[in-house]
């Protein structure tokens, strides 16, 4: 629009100057003029002297306008190239992200476990429903350990879910995880009985870590890719990048069931998943937004946001998708 106005204005000014130059001889040779130009040489010299500055100025003005219009055209071309680069960058980012989502979905579909009588297979999202049931059964046992606080009881329950009986029988595991209970207990003490296990007995011996580790590891890589992706160029401001990344993480969260989000939370508060919290992935991207809080137990997500994030009730309502009656 501005470019068109400049061109129009330039042409009008140039046209007026040219019209004036064309009619100058007629104007200056009229008898009404106080100056007499009977000598044609004088007429030519006078007209040339009068119009020459206008013609020269017009030439300079047109030259300047030509350069300026070319400058605007070059700038517009650069903006178009940057816009194309921006779209290409977004497309490359989203294509990689969608392929990662596909792999994550496949990981969920591939995960399965047999019932205790071996007659039924719980696959995909059903698997995570059973994990929550199993974890709650284990927590009911660890909750009886009076010397541990609520968070430690919950962490211990999840570690048993992940490692099974090997948490107490493997010397390296026992030595490493004992430090997280500050000498309040010794993991060599066996107290998790088989009745806490809902499925195949072999998972009682070795836990569900072989199934959960791959699932959480790849899920972590997806969020890490989103969080660390660098958008180059000056076309992105900080707020725009933040929105792009949040919406990308939101697409991953939309694929997670409420049980998956709850299990992600319990994984994150343990030494196994501390990177989720250390890097603020759960907080910044609200990855557990859809948890049904009344279904949580032990050291609940509400305990976490109140005690460790120091959220107000208003912040909690924004963080979780639930009615404030649960606060």
Which residues pair with residue 121 across a beta bridge?
A: 114
Q: What is the pLDDT of residue 77?
A: 64
For 264, the token pair is 């992600």
In a domain, 183, yes or no: yes
Assess if residue 258 is contained within a domain. Answer: yes
Q: Is residue 262 part of a domain?
A: yes
**pLDDT at res. 141:** 86
Q: Give residue 263's pLDDT band: very low, low, confident or very high (50, 70, 90).
A: very high
Tens of pLDDT, residues 171-229: 899 889 988 887 787 787 666 665 655 556 667 778 899 899 999 999 999 999 999 99
Q: What are the backbone angles phi and psi of residue 167, rounded to the nearest 5°?
A: -60, -35
| pLDDT of 40 strictly over 70 | no
Identify whether 104 is part of a domain: no
Sign of CA pseudo-dihedral 166, 167, 169, 173: positive
- Examine residue 101 and state whether it is found in any structural domain, yes or no: no
Whose tokens are 């009619």? That residue is 23
pLDDT (tens digit per residue) in 138-187: 898 889 888 899 999 999 999 999 998 888 888 899 889 988 887 787 78
pLDDT tens per residue, range 52-89: 665 666 667 667 667 776 767 666 665 655 555 666 77
Please tell me whether residues 45 and 173 are part of one structural domain. Answer: no
Q: Which domain holds residue 304?
A: 112-326
Mean pLDDT over all residues of the chain? Answer: 80
Residues 6 or more apart whose CB falls under 8 angstroms from that of 103 comprise 218
Residue 211 lies in a domain: yes
Task: Among 88, 123, 149, identify where a domain stops.
Answer: 88
Do 77 and 200 share a domain, yes or no?
A: no
Domain count, the chain: 2
Report, as an integer, the average pLDDT of 310-326.
78
Q: Are residues 140 and 225 in the same domain?
A: yes
Nearest to 35 by CA among 52, 20, 48, 27: 27
SS3 184: coil
Convert the pLDDT of each residue in 275-296 to its tens digit.
999 999 999 999 999 999 999 9
**Radius of gyration over every alpha carbon of the chain, rounded to an integer in angstroms:** 38
Query: Would you say residue 135 lies in a domain?
Result: yes
pTM score, whole prediction: 0.73
Residue 115 has pLDDT above 70, yes or no: yes
Sequence-separated (6 or more) residues with CB below 8 Å from residue 210: none
- On whether residue 214 sits in a domain, the answer given is yes
């Amino acid at each position: 629009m501005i470019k068109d106005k400049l061109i129009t204005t330039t042409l009008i000014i140039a046209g007026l100057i040219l019209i004036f130059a064309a009619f100058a001889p007629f104007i200056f040779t009229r008898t009404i003029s106080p100056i007499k130009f009977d000598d044609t040489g004088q007429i030519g010299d006078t007209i040339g002297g009068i119009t020459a500055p206008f013609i020269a100025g017009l030439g300079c003005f047109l030259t300047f306008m030509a350069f300026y219009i070319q400058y605007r055209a070059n700038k517009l071309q650069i903006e178009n190239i940057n816009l194309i680069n921006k779209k290409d960058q977004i497309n490359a980012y989203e294509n990689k992200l969608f392929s990662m989502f596909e792999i994550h979905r496949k990981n969920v579909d591939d995960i399965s476990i047999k019932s205790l009588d071996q007659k039924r297979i719980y696959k995909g999202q059903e698997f995570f429903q059973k994990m929550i049931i199993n974890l709650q059964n284990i927590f009911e046992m660890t909750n009886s350990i009076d010397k541990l606080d609520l968070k430690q009881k919950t962490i211990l329950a999840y570690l048993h879910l992940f490692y099974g009986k090997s948490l107490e029988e493997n010397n390296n595991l026992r030595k490493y995880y004992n430090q997280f209970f500050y000498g309040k207990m010794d993991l060599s003490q066996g107290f998790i009985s088989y009745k806490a296990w809902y499925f195949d007995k072999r998972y009682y011996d070795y836990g569900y870590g072989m199934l959960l580790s791959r699932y959480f590891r790849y899920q972590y890589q997806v969020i890490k890719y989103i969080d660390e992706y660098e958008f180059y160029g000056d076309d992105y401001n900080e707020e725009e990048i933040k929105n792009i990344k949040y919406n990308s993480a939101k697409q991953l969260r939309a694929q997670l069931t409420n049980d998956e989000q709850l299990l992600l939370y319990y994984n994150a508060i343990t030494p196994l998943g501390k990177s989720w919290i250390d890097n603020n992935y759960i907080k910044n991207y609200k990855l557990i937004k859809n948890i049904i809080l009344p279904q949580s137990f032990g050291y609940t997500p509400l305990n976490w946001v109140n005690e460790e994030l120091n959220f107000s009730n208003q912040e909690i309502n924004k963080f979780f998708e639930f009615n404030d009656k649960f606060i």
